[in-house]
């Protein structure tokens, strides 16, 4: 897959494209890209996903608390894995927001070689959001761009949308989010030094830092996880805690993400780490003592191993 960030690179009238944010690249997105690829191949064209660096809501409403399911690099990789030939990466700005749908179709035709446009079943674009697919098709006929509307995703766990998945993650329902996504929700960061109290009670943890600040964080609590460390592609079982460590304390009470990897003893400070969330275990609890915390962690480990072995 080739990432295109500048206009006039792709030959004219050579592209079948679709447009969207594609946050999370969930089951509905992959079905849309499959439809796009089928249409592109039938017409002898390459396929392109047109997307944006920053969510349009962040531009139009800078005070919004919207967070993303995936950082940009992961989103681009997931789109590539779905089979698109190109990703056209655009910067959404106020000038682009003022374009009506006809002007937008003309822009992608002239700048990115689009002669076929596939829209999602309920996708709207251009500032005149009262328009629908029939209007887009009429504009396309006038501009020499053929339009198709993809079917609604009605597969397992439908309906799916990025907003539904964000709500599930925020609520800690990471297993339901994974069903909608078609893959686990993940966080990526770097292993940093923490308080190292876990090591003292037999549960050493990797403190996950440098997480992309645009990415959503699940609800506070304990989770069963799978972990990839460094360049090792093999996932390791573990459990994670998101919260303020009420039994031990975080000093400044800031939220931390700590991962205990089962049966692992290596020195991984400074290594990149990927945490795949499997299932919510429990809310974060303040224990009466370190012994009580240790007992709870043993219970969490037992449950997590059962979950991972299912």
- Report residue 282 as tokens: 């429990």
Asked whether residue 201 carries a pLDDT value surpassing 80, the answer given is no
Overall average pLDDT of the 216-241 stretch: 94
Q: Can you give the pTM of this predicted structure?
A: 0.92
The residue behind tokens 């002669």 is 115
Question: Would you call 278 helix, strand, or coil by DSSP?
Answer: strand
CA–CA dist 80, 97 (Å, integer): 26
* pLDDT greater than 90 at residue 235: yes
Compute the average pLDDT of residues 8-24.
Answer: 96
Mean pLDDT of 280-293: 84
Residue whose C-alpha is closest to residue 88's, from 153, 139, 35, 22: 22
Least confident span in 47-51, 247-251, 288-292: 247-251
Residue 301 binned pLDDT confidence (cut-offs 50, 70, 90) = very high
196 — pLDDT class (breaks 50, 70, 90): low
Residue 232: what pLDDT?
Answer: 84
Q: Are strands 114-119 and 146-149 parallel, antiparallel or unpaired?
A: parallel
Is 127 or 252 the better-scoring residue by pLDDT?
Answer: 127
Asked which of 30-39, 107-116, 254-263 is least confident by mean pLDDT, the reply is 254-263
107, pLDDT greater than 60: yes
Under a CB-based contact definition with an 8 Å cutoff, are residues 84 and 33 in contact? yes
- Read off the pLDDT of residues 21-57 as tens digits, 9 standing for 90 and up: 999 999 999 999 999 999 999 999 999 999 999 999 9
DSSP assignment letter at 68: B
Give me the torsion for CA of 33, 37, 40, 42, rounded to 10°: -140
Average pLDDT, the chain: 92
Note whether 219 and 241 are within 8 A (CB).
no
Within 13 Å of residue 47, how many CA atoms lie on the same side as its CB?
23
pLDDT in tens, 17-27: 999 999 999 99
Q: Looking at residue 250, what is its pLDDT?
A: 52
């Amino acid at each position: 897959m080739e990432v295109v960030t500048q206009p006039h690179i792709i030959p004219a009238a050579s592209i079948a494209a679709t447009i969207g944010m594609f946050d999370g690249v969930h089951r509905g997105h992959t079905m849309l890209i499959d439809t796009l690829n089928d249409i592109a191949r039938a017409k002898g064209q390459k396929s392109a996903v047109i997307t944006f660096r920053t969510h349009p809501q962040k531009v139009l409403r800078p005070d919004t608390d919207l967070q993303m399911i995936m950082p940009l690099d992961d989103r681009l990789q997931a789109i590539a894995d779905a089979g698109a030939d190109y990703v056209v990466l655009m910067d959404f700005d106020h000038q682009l927001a003022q374009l009506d749908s006809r002007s937008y179709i003309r822009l992608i035709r002239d700048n990115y070689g689009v002669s076929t446009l596939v829209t999602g079943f309920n996708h709207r674009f251009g500032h005149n959001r009262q328009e629908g697919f029939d209007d887009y098709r009429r504009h396309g006929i006038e501009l020499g761009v053929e339009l198709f509307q993809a079917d609604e995703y009605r597969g397992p766990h439908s309906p799916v949308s990025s907003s539904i998945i964000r709500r599930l993650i925020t609520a800690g329902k990471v297993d339901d989010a994974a069903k909608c996504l078609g893959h686990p929700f993940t966080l990526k960061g770097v292993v940093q030094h923490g308080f190292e109290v876990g090591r003292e009670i037999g549960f050493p943890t990797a403190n996950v830092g440098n997480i992309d600040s645009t990415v959503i964080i699940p609800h506070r609590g304990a989770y069963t996880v799978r972990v990839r460390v460094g360049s090792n592609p093999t996932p390791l079982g573990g459990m994670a805690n998101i919260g303020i460590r009420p039994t031990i304390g975080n000093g400044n009470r800031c939220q931390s993400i700590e991962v205990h990897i089962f049966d692992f003893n290596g020195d991984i400070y400074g290594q990149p780490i990927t945490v795949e969330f499997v299932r919510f275990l429990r809310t974060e609890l303040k224990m009466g003592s370190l012994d009580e915390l240790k007992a709870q962690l043993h219970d969490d480990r037992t449950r997590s191993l059962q979950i991972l072995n299912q």
